[in-house]
Structure 1
């Protein structure tokens, strides 16, 4: 039986077939639904949701009355109460699940509330993405009915006083709808395993017994798993054991730096499907074959706002300023970077998620992730984004025919001026000096500000080549293994100090 052919419940079918509307109208409808549901909560009373709902200009009044929050602000003022068992704080009822997330920089875990309403919206977005495969040309229909190998966090969640907490992928797997269970691998029993190495060993052991059509996860961990299977069974490619593997569903990081190395492991072309599933919600997904961007989820459970990622709105450390300009979806422009604010059906209100996005197709509401508000380099005005870095790495890896699956960049003093220090993972034969020169030249072509500053205060670029295992070992020591964890592209603060200590001593 194919997933696309499953007969859906009437209520879900109705939800999936919402009338086509303008993005602005869809978003106002979502905002109104969120405000109505939460108007009797403490947050709703504090910020006058009733008044907002009675306003002729709902979106603008919402922006006027409700402040922007980062994690620390909303946790310290509101969410901490829910962990203590309080109900009706930012969303009706009691919060029973929390996604543990530390992003890619902070050391302490964040507790992101997860509600049934949020999970329902996430599932509908997932089903819509799955159904969009029907529009793909030359769709390998046979593979659609095969297994889904999903590398995520443990479903054996941490138990707190009245709640459970864990990786979002673990919560999602634990609350998986019954109709998806036959397709799900590695299965619920092994999904409970907290030890990442044991989980991988089990998957490698069971790999010959599965007929996999989809692999789902962060590229680095999927690649590691496939390499282990190929090595264990002395295969030429992963298709020797999974001939029906046709889809790779990925997200969280740009796939381009991984693509060259990834395609060494396959003997048939795969359909790559990008998703934007954060701990705070299912934000966007690729719904058109070969689309440059992902379609924002505009009519379900998330209200989006966009803050132009400019000096007037953010300080040098990537913190949002109190008077930052915020836009709704009909006010954005293509080709500009925006920090994303979301309000969701889990009591996440005007929340700075930390990602920056760019609209590639405003009419289709399609975006790409360009980086993080705190993961960019602008020591002297070079304004170097993660997107710039990814493109440079992609260009150079293709020119030199080498795989660069991981990298990170540090801004450092250099005499009276400054420099960038690159740490690049490459297990192929590569010359560090050649990589340094080529990446530098590629960035000059991509980013005019960078080119100007390289002739001024940004005096030097350094580059070290390290084995990919060095990056993986650091992540293991940080407790960021598997699931949605990915290596930060820019290192600052404590993460930088830990990295430097690790390179010196091998420990943290």
Structure 2
């Protein structure tokens, strides 16, 4: 009988019931007031007169009117660079002990995003909230006695001057609570290995000594790790080695495109729980099994704003026009795509995180990630967001009984005519022309703007099928394998030319 598991499960269930009803709108008002109060004596707070904003009748309205939008380049060039020059109290009191490195999905140069002690605490608290929410998933008591394999970036952070640098998953894993260390796999020694392939090889070697009940990580890298473990132990599926594997906590990207290839590695279905941990903070997590949407963490270290995701508000490079209107959580509507804007306890102010979301349940503040602002394919008026592209790829998987865990595309000029050129990552050999016709037809039916574009400037669709390894190795060469690294779904013409050369030279 799982005595410890029953105790833990009972505690979680009682704690969840005692937490009471949430009011996300009120929580957000309190978070904004706290952020402004804490940072009012910083250089940023004095420059934008936070004291005056705090005295306003409508703090949220005064805040959005007075503070401009910031992307990484703007806030780093104007403010964060001072942190590396030894200055304190720049955009948040004191100096951050960590910087999260993130190349995102649109560039090779790493961003260095401040991570304060308050943010580390906020991320930990959000994780605890997610643990409490497990009471909604009716998991058996013995689940709470199993190992949890967290596959993030290396926890061997780089010491730079008076702070440490690494990816946010590595920073978070290096700050896990002591009580959790007994459950945590692959363990500190393996987690510190910086080389991705070496770390996965060690995981494969040690895998048979663990009783894994849950996995956590970005889908593409989790799949690759599972494949290596299965191959190393000559298994048919991962449940032959880890029969008690019951939960996978996904994160960083929509799980839908990976569902078919991921399930092929399992012996039976498991519970999938989505999370939204970005380099800038823990944004949301799935709190109940009735939906795959995620609940915003509205009582932590992040204040949220939302800009309607409409072409007139978005520049070609994915940035927002200066006068784009933003709204609060109390004003959002279900089913509308929004650009997500955050202000945080790490000193990010009206920061464009780069993701687009939609609300599936306004009262519960539940969202789905719908794409990236820079992955909005509108070169010839087709107005395709990532969720539309994901849907099209899933349509191909169903129509042709194939697995396509990765893809990328570009609105590419060929002989002065625009084509949507797709690369699909799949082990299933299919005719590119047939796939192109199916993609084209599906998108015409699903998106009227695409249909109009196809009758005018968009000449056609081309599809090339390559091995999924091409995407993993591309990331390894241009960024780094594992961790928070995600494949860019939409490339510009310059990057796409580099991608085509890479595929050709490496024989994918």
TM over 0.5: yes
Q: How big is the shift at 1:503?
A: 2.5
- For residues 255 and 334 of structure 1, do their structure 2 counterparts lie closer, same or farther at Cα, with a shift above 3 Å needed? same
**1:438-460 C-alpha deviation (Å, 9 max, x unpaired):** 12222122212112221222111
Matched, 1:361 2:361: yes
- Whether 1:35 aligns to 2:36 is yes
Return the offset for 1:122.
Answer: 1.1
For the Cα contact (< 8 Å) 2:226–2:238, is it kept in 1?
yes
Q: Give the 3 Å change call, closer, same or farther, for CA 8–144 of structure 1 in structure 2.
A: closer
- SS of residue in 2 equivalent to 1:268: coil
The whole-number CA distance in structure 1 between the counterparts of 2:405 and 2:434 is 18
Q: Secondary structure at 1:288's aligned position in 2?
A: coil
**Partners of 2:92 and 2:7 in 1: how far apart?**
33
The equivalent residue for 1:445 is 445
**Which residue in the other structure is 1:496 paired with?**
496
Q: Cα deviation per residue 1:14-59 (whole Å; 9 max; x = unaligned)? A: 9x96663533221110001111111111111111111111111010
* Unmatched runs of 5 consecutive residues or more in structure 2: none
8 Å Cα contact 2:70-2:350 kept in structure 1: yes
Alignment of 1:306-455 (within 5 A): 306-455=306-455
Q: What residue is the counterpart of 2:82 in the other structure?
A: 81
Map 1:117-266 onto structure 2 (within 5 A). 117-137=118-138, 139-266=139-266
State the TM-score, normalized to the length of structure 2: 0.95
CA displacement at 1:493 relative to structure 2: 5.8
Instruction: Spell out, residue by residue over 1:150-170, the C-alpha distance to the aligned partner (whole angstroms, 9 max, x if none).
Output: 111111111211111111111
CA contact (8 A) 1:85 1:162 kept: no
Contact 1:396 1:442 in 2 (8 A): no
Residues 502 and 486 (structure 1), Cα distance of their counterparts in 2 relative to 1, 3 Å cut? same
Kept in 1: contact 2:97–2:117 (CA 8 A): no
Match of residue 470 from structure 2 = 470
Alignment of 1:46 onto 2:57: no
Once residues 3 and 299 of structure 1 are traced to their aligned partners in structure 2, the CA distance between those partners, rounded to angstroms, is 29
Partner of 1:277: 277
Contact 2:421 2:463 in 1 (8 A): yes
Secondary structure in 2 matching 1:198 = helix
The Cα shift of 1:415 comes to: 4.2
- 2:66 corresponds in structure 1 to 65
Q: Is the 8 A contact 2:79 2:90 kept in 1?
A: yes
- Preserved CA contact (<8 Å) 2:6 2:142: no
Whole-angstrom CA distance in 1 between matches of 2:213 and 2:245: 4
State yes or no: 1:94 paired with 2:99. Answer: no
| Paired residues of 2:257 and 2:405 also in contact (CA < 8 A) | yes
Alignment pair present for 1:5 and 2:8: yes
> Aligned-pair RMSD on alpha carbons?
2.0
Q: Distance in 2 between matches of 1:374 and 1:4?
A: 47
Q: Residues of 1 paired with 2:494 and 2:96: CA distance? A: 31
Give the CA deviation at 1:121.
1.1
**1:24 partnered with 2:28:** no
CA contact 1:308–1:336 (8 Å) conserved in 2 = yes
Q: Is the 8 A contact 2:273 2:286 kept in 1?
A: yes
Gaps of 5+ in 1: none
Q: 1:439-492, CA deviations, whole angstroms, 9 ceiling, x for partnerless residues?
A: 222212221211222122211100000011111111111132100111111012
The 1:325–1:299 alpha-carbon spacing in structure 2 relative to 1, beyond 3 Å, is: same
- Asked whether the equivalents of residues 100 and 167 of structure 1 are also in contact (C-alpha less than 8 Å), the reply is yes
Instruction: Compute the displacement of 1:324 (Å).
Output: 0.9
- Contact 2:68–2:350 (Cα < 8 Å) also in 1: yes
Aligned to 1:113: 114
Q: Quote the Cα distance in structure 1 between the aligned partners of 2:26 and 2:133.
A: 22
Q: In structure 1, what is the equivalent of residue 456 of structure 2?
A: 456
Q: Displacement of 1:414 after TM fit?
A: 4.0
Q: Secondary structure at the match of 2:248?
A: strand
Distance 1:4-1:410 versus aligned 2 partners, 3 A rule: farther
Q: Distance in 1 between matches of 2:325 and 2:286?
A: 28
Give, in angstroms, the shift of residue 8 of structure 1: 8.8
1:344 Cα offset (Å):
0.6
Moved more, 437-446 or 32-41: 437-446
Q: Deviations over 1:72-103 (max 9, x none)?
A: 11001110111222111111111110000011
Residue in 1 that maps onto 2:296: 296
1:289-324 Cα offsets, whole Å, 9 max, x none, are 031411111111110000111122112222211111
How much has 1:416 moved relative to structure 2? 4.7
CA contact (8 A) 2:406 2:468 kept: yes
Partners of 1:7 and 1:429 lie apart in 2 by 50
Is the CA contact 1:414–1:459 (under 8 Å) kept in the aligned structure 2? no
Aligned with 2:449: secondary structure? helix
Q: Report the TM-score, using the length of structure 1 for normalisation.
A: 0.95
> Cα offset for 1:4?
7.8
- Residue pair 1:157, 1:165 contacting (<8 A) in 2 also: yes
CA positional deviation for 1:499: 1.3
SS at match of 2:312: coil
